[in-house]
Amino acid sequence: MTTIRLHNTKSRKKEDFVPIDPQNVRMYVCGPTVYDRAHLGNARPVLVFDILYRLLRHVYGENSVTYVRNFTDVDDKINARAAATGRPIRDITDETIGWYHDDMDSLGAMRPDQEPRATEWIGAMITMIEELIAKGHAYEKEGHVLFRVRSYENYGALSGRSVDDMIAGARVEVAPFKEDPMDFVLWKPSDVKTPGWGSPWGYGRPGWHIECSAMSYELLGASFDIHGGGNDLQFPHHENEIAQSCCAHPEGGFANYWLHNEMLQVEGKKMSKSLGNFFTVRDLLEQGIPGEVVRLVMLGTHYGKPMDWTEKKRAEAEQTLRNWRNLTADVVAGEVDPELVDTLADDLNTAGAIARLHVLAKGDAATFKASALFMGFLTDELGEWAAGVDLTAYADKLAAIRAEAMETKDFSAVDAMKKALMDAGVEVRMSKAGVELLPGAGFDAAKLEGL
């Protein structure tokens, strides 16, 4: 069996992955807060953990892996959006979840086995909060319930900081009902205009962190294998998850392996609206950039390094995928290349796996296609953008013009047509064997009209 090695944030080193139960490998990944379109940075953890999910299923069996990713559908940002638009909150979250599914499907990401919505697990959150209060790890004051951070001696172990250092360097909410500045909210009161549920502490709603602890416990147990997310969640979200989960259920260890992906940049700069380089996944798709191209660009960088989206990478990825699809158009997939699997098993080395695909593309086409499909490329679902491009008539016309030019020694017509084809994004290959035309980066069929 393939040995998977992962860089565990918890230990700060690469470790052999040993599941608690090889017949029931369990992974939880923090999902989106659903009030707007997912931006490109939101797509990075989706694609990173999609690759890990595929690898785990390949190694342990498709029915032996459970992947859970939540939807945060109770949040102040959602409340603000509802207040601004006058729309019911459920309408907003349902619509946004639909957008999210459409956009991530367009990138070739497999959907998790379970996608719990926070609002459907309020009872489990209340139960966990009650357990924390009973064990002295939480307290109620002025309708709020707060977690006693200093009651958990290992707080800060994931991010490697002490509580006092965190207080000095973090923006912590100062409130009169807190015993300690680092204590965080498990439950807070709601007014009549704000969504809420009945609880032992009055009408209110959960804090952000408790939802992941409660849902992961209910769906995966007190101990499970992998917890993932962006490195921006390491503190405070993941630290808080660990503290409340381990205090509520000391019989478990919560997550054994922690994986965090780095952030995204655009042309070497942090993506932000103020710089004008902020865009959603849907923005790219509507610009005509295929989701498969986005997938190849983003997986071209190891998840532990900042990923830089550039126009150059996009164009190269589009050309690569056109070539790969032309190469495998009539090929039946064979077996996945073991060397590619081993490369991915080395801490999700997606860049190395893509390099291996380039090598395989020069050899056995059946193995190459199977390996590309394994990584989520060249699927029928993602292939519409490259389908239906028949340049045979243009190739025949250019061949005829070239044959005439060989007689007259006037190649101006050849040069003119070649230029028109290239302006339309067509790669022109001419040799003694004939003329070959391939759709290239930026291919635009509309520009071929009139040729």
Question: Long-range pairs for 353-359 at CB < 8 Å and ≥24 separation?
Answer: 353/299, 354/296, 354/299, 354/300, 357/324, 358/320
- Whether the pLDDT of residue 387 is over 80: the answer is no
- Whether the pLDDT of residue 231 is over 90: the answer is yes
Q: What is the mean pLDDT of the chain?
A: 93
pLDDT average, residue stretch 257-274? 92
Per-residue pLDDT band for 445 (boundaries 50, 70, 90) equals confident
Per-residue pLDDT band for 436 (boundaries 50, 70, 90) equals confident
pLDDT at 255: 98
Per-residue pLDDT band for 272 (boundaries 50, 70, 90) equals confident
Higher pLDDT, 53 or 425: 53
pLDDT average, residue stretch 241-254? 97
pLDDT at 170: 54
Kindly report the pTM of this predicted structure: 0.88
Domains and CATH numbers, the chain: 5-261 (3.40.50.620), 265-386 (no CATH), 392-448 (no CATH)
pLDDT average, residue stretch 185-205? 94
- Whether the pLDDT of residue 389 is over 80: the answer is no
Tell me the per-residue pLDDT of 339-363, one tens digit each, with 9 for 90 and over: 999 999 999 999 999 999 999 999 9
- Whether the pLDDT of residue 148 is over 90: the answer is yes
Per-residue pLDDT band for 172 (boundaries 50, 70, 90) equals low
- Whether the pLDDT of residue 173 is over 70: the answer is no
pLDDT at 40: 95
pLDDT at 357: 98
- Whether the pLDDT of residue 174 is over 80: the answer is no
- Whether the pLDDT of residue 333 is over 80: the answer is yes
Give percent above pLDDT 70 in the chain: 97
- Whether the pLDDT of residue 450 is over 80: the answer is no
Residue 258: closest CA among 164, 160, 343? 160
pLDDT average, residue stretch 4-28? 98
Per-residue pLDDT band for 451 (boundaries 50, 70, 90) equals confident
- Whether the pLDDT of residue 146 is over 80: the answer is yes
**d(C-alpha 96, C-alpha 119), whole Å:** 15
pLDDT at 393: 84
pLDDT average, residue stretch 231-235? 94
- Whether the pLDDT of residue 441 is over 80: the answer is no
Terminal CA-CA length for the chain:
56
Per-residue pLDDT band for 250 (boundaries 50, 70, 90) equals very high
pLDDT at 448: 80
- Whether the pLDDT of residue 435 is over 60: the answer is yes
pLDDT at 412: 92
Give percent above pLDDT 90 in the chain: 78
Higher pLDDT, 445 or 220: 220
